[in-house]
Amino acid sequence: MIITIALLIAIALIALAAVPLALRLVPQNAMFGVPTRNTLKDEALWFKVNAFAGKSMLVACAVVALLLVFYQGTWLRPAWAQVIAFIVPQAIAVAVTVAYERRLTQ
């Protein structure tokens, strides 16, 4: 149960960080967002990629939260399964964002 609570807190923090990205409130910088060579050169690309990243992270957080809350007593009972259920959607969100950025810059 402690791992579930810790992961839900982590999801809430990631979602909280994703909201300003999704709302296009974060200016170009090298610390927060998706600071690639291309996004740091082009402000319009920065906002487009980071808005996509924020939305994809919010979707991933929602998926993880639903998995942890509704399936915690079933196949997600072991802590390792919960951690995998946390990592996989986040990794997919990052991979989709990288692919999106590459598609826009080709």
Each residue's pLDDT, cut to its tens digit, for the chain (106 residues) gives 788 889 999 999 999 999 999 999 999 999 999 999 999 999 999 999 999 999 999 999 999 999 888 876 666 678 888 899 999 999 999 999 999 999 999 8
pTM for the structure as a whole: 0.90
The one-letter amino acid code at 22 reads A
Read off φ and ψ for residue 53, nearest 5 degrees: -60, -45
Map 81-92 to HEC letters.
Answer: HHHHHHHHHHHH
For the chain, give every domain's residue range. 2-105
